Amino acid sequence: MQKVVVQIVIFVGLFFMTWFSFRQVDWMKNFNIAQKTKSTEEKLGDFIWEALVRAEDEIKDRKIITPVDSLLTRICISNKIDRKKIKLHILNSSEVNAFALPNHHLVVFSGLINESINENELSGVISHELAHIELNHVMKKLVKEVGLSVLLSMTTGSGGEVVKEIVRLISSSAYDRSLETEADLQAVEYMLKSHLNPEALANFLYRLSNNKDDLSKHLDWVSTHPNPEERAETIIDNSHDRKVTFKPVLTKREWEALQKRIEKDN
């Protein structure tokens, strides 16, 4: 009986200790921080994009936007991602690159479209960047490397001098290894659910990392995402033997027309 009483006393003691600890947490403060971070992300993404588009040539040609949008839409619908919240932008640049900004901005360079040999390669890169958006990697990276206070200052108009550095950080600097792996694995799942072949993303990484003739042209996406060969192997390992019937989004003619249009605009 004495043993039971001791156990009850211990249990009650632990209960009140836990209750007291939870009372010390300023839940309203933490909630406000979360709200402030979300508000900051929305303002920051739009602010960075507005600064970026002033310095870059945004493509408005519907014959380029529509097929790329079709790929993005297939991926979003198949994975229950709200397509309306993803803001697709295509920039006229020879750089082989794509990156995500805060507040669901997805930036694709025309050089990436031109370098992709088929829609699956382009879809693979789009899926990877979409994963960064959906997994909240963009803000994690910025808060870690820049700091929330600096990001907040930008949204109030007092941090304009660091916009270029932020853009450089997002577009030309790798995420942590664990985040890159997470985005790759999520991209595989996105593509399989979309009936697109994720091994094309592995082929893209292999091909560009092994291209020695014009390496500088390909450094923007491959070199900023470390260990491309290892990443490619991980992608293949996680997509191999998955019984999925692949279904194209664009016809061969539509894909060729897209690349010709890109070449014409460059």
Distance CA 183, CA 178 (A): 9
Instruction: Give me the half-sphere count of Cα atoms (radius 13 Å) on the Cβ side of residue 167.
Output: 18
Q: Rounded CA gap, 40 and 237, in Å? A: 38
How buried is residue 246: exposed, middle or buried, by Cβ count under 10 Å (0-12/13-18/19+)?
A: middle
Q: What is the mean pLDDT of residues 116-128?
A: 97
Give the pLDDT of residue 171: 75
pLDDT at 259: 95
DSSP state string for 30-66: HHHHHHHHHHHHHHHHHHHHHHHHHHS-B---HHHHH
d(CA 132, CA 174): 12
Q: Is the pLDDT of residue 4 over 70?
A: no
Residues 6+ apart with CB under 8 A from 193: 78, 79
- Look up the pTM and report it: 0.82
Q: How much is the mean pLDDT over the chain?
A: 81
**109-141 as b/e, with b when 16 or more CB fall inside 10 Å?**
bbbbbbbbebbbbbbbbbbbbbbbbbeebbbeb
| Stronger pLDDT, 151 or 87, i.e. the higher one | 87
Query: Cα–Cα distance between 108 and 100 in angstroms, integer?
Result: 9
DSSP letter for each residue of 128-141 = HHHHHHHTTHHHHH
Separation CA 56–CA 240 (nearest Å): 39
| Residue % of the chain over a pLDDT of 90 | 48
Q: Model confidence over 5-61: pLDDT tens digits?
A: 444 545 445 444 544 444 444 433 443 444 555 677 888 888 889 888 888 899 999
Helices marked H in the chain = 2-24, 27-55, 62-78, 110-115, 119-134, 137-145, 148-155, 163-172, 177-193, 199-209, 215-222, 228-239, 252-265
Which residue type, as a one-letter code, is found at position 91?
L
Q: What integer pLDDT is reported at residue 157 of this predicted model?
A: 59
Residue 113 Cα distances to 18, 120, 125, angstroms: 55, 11, 10
**Are 54 and 167 a contacting pair, CB within 8 Å?**
no
